[in-house]
Amino acid sequence: MADDTDEVPMPAPTPAQLLLLLVPAIVIGALCALVLRALDIAAGGLQQVLWTALPDALGVDPDGWWIVVVLTATGFAVGLGLQFLPGHGGPDSATTELVAEPLKLRTLPGLIIVTALALAGGVSLGPENPIIAVNVALTVALLGRMMPRVGAKLGMLMAAAGTIGALFGSPVAAALLFTGTLAAVRGGGALWDKLFLPLASAAAAAGTMHVLGAPPLQFTLPTAPTTPILLLAGVVIAIAGVAIGLVGAFLFPFAHRAFHSLRQPILIATAGGLVLGLLGLIGGPITLFKGLDQMGELFEDPDAYDAGQLVVIVLVKLVALVVAASAAFRGGRIFPAAFTGAALGMLAHALIPSLPIALCVASALIGILLVMAKDGWLALFVAAAVAGDLALLPWLCVIILPAWLLVSKAPEFRIIPKPVPSAAGAATGADSDSERPPTA
């Protein structure tokens, strides 16, 4: 999020004020979850048509050249949306942080459409950046009409926290992510005064997702007691995850520049879809999509994949993530990066079977997510959630330390956008009918 430390300090909220805003926070969280679930259902329905119903009707193998056909067509469809829909799908996801300034409402339909197309078509990106942008914009607009005294910043915080709680199925993720941000905000009151409403929104969103039947971020991996020797192995695996992530971060600006040299969104996204299709043909269906369900497939039978297969899966998914993020597709990088880390952890276990698979996966996740998100809390949460073993958490807090030293000064896995002359333009990015669709 943007740095709020230079704003005028706000007085500490009273318990009465927090209680008064508790109901709006809960409603915002529930609405954020509903929007995310609606996007998931729509994308899932289209995915069923593209990858099951249509190939069955045509009598083709969905695991063969159909992958290239669907992803190329997906790129073309996304490119059409970026070229012609109002707002051009919002700012390029390659240039945005997880939480950014609110978009104009007329941008949202186009952003939702191109995001759903990418999710259904098998693009290696998750929904996190676009769905947070949608929920933030809707929340700020609604509060501006119904409760203007609440303020846009608080609305952004509640919407972002609610969406993160919905994405990960837990308010803990939002609490950890916003602890650093809110601790830096100047103002009276304890940190938990500032966290109270965002955390309430996140809890409501997570609960709503559970009620709606969304699959939780929860897996079952074999565990084993951790010893000092295994702790050292975890550090090495985390460093390997950092190295893999840094390779992606190094390639990212070159790939982004190469695709955007095509200038037109239709050409950029279509070329990206073609490359993603060829990568999917090499890596197989398990390297497609955002990676959450595919992570479950990996964990169902770890012995089904040998070291050679896992090397291919890791490399293909990493390149697919770089290509998808570079080729104007709208989406987030956390979930596909988590899949890459999970596959890397399984590779470590395949090479040295005596290493506990939960430790291997959690350590690799920490390494690669530190590069992708530059947030230690997020890396720790996802690693612990995927491993499913709270006994690992103290060890992961040690494993993350040397990994953080390697990434603390590394470049962000993000394209820093060029400065926009006017403040209004900077706030809205490509959200102007007079501007060309974003190509850089």
φ, ψ (nearest 5 deg) of residue 10: -100, 145
Q: Which residue has the higher pLDDT, 231 or 14?
A: 231
Same domain, 233 and 190: no
Token representation of residue 266: 């239709």
Same domain, 261 and 192: no
434 contacts: CB under 8 Å, gap ≥ 6? none
Contact 166, 207 (CB under 8 A): no
The pLDDT assigned to 146 comes to 84
Which domain, by its residues, includes 332?
Answer: 228-407
Q: How confident is the model at residue 191 (pLDDT cuts 50, 70, 90)?
A: confident
Q: Which residue has the higher pLDDT, 43 or 171?
A: 43
Mean pLDDT of the chain: 87
> To 5 degrees, how large is the angle CA 112–CA 118–CA 121?
135
The pLDDT assigned to 424 comes to 42
Which of 111-115, 276-280, 353-357 has the least mean pLDDT? Answer: 353-357
pLDDT at 440 over 60: no
Predicted TM-score (pTM) of this structure:
0.88
The pLDDT assigned to 417 comes to 74
Same domain, 172 and 309: no
Flag whether 85 is in a domain: yes
Flag whether 333 is in a domain: yes
Flag whether 377 is in a domain: yes
Output DSSP code: residue 374.
-
φ, ψ (nearest 5 deg) of residue 202: -65, -40
The pLDDT assigned to 420 comes to 60
pLDDT at 439 over 70: no
Which of 76-85, 126-135, 326-335, 414-423 has the least mean pLDDT? Answer: 414-423
Query: Percent of the chain, pLDDT > 70?
Result: 90
- The CATH number for 264's domain is 1.10.3080.10
How many domains does the chain divide into?
Answer: 2
Which residues on neighbouring strands pair with residue 10, listed in sequence order? Answer: 187
Same domain, 196 and 252: no
125 contacts: CB under 8 Å, gap ≥ 6? 93, 118, 119, 290, 321, 324, 325, 329, 330, 331, 332, 333, 335, 336
Q: How confident is the model at residue 428 (pLDDT cuts 50, 70, 90)?
A: very low
Flag whether 219 is in a domain: no
Contact 18, 154 (CB under 8 A): no
The pLDDT assigned to 187 comes to 63
Flag whether 425 is in a domain: no
Same domain, 25 and 140: yes
Q: What is the DSSP string of 295-355?
A: HHHHHH-GGGS-HHHHHHHHHHHHHHHHHHHHTT---BSHHHHHHHHHHHHHHHHHHSTTS
Flag whether 141 is in a domain: yes
pLDDT at 217 over 80: no
Q: What is the mean pLDDT of residues 2-17?
A: 60
How many other CB atoms are found less than 10 A from the CB of residue 56? 10
For the chain, what is the radius of gyration of the CA atoms? 21
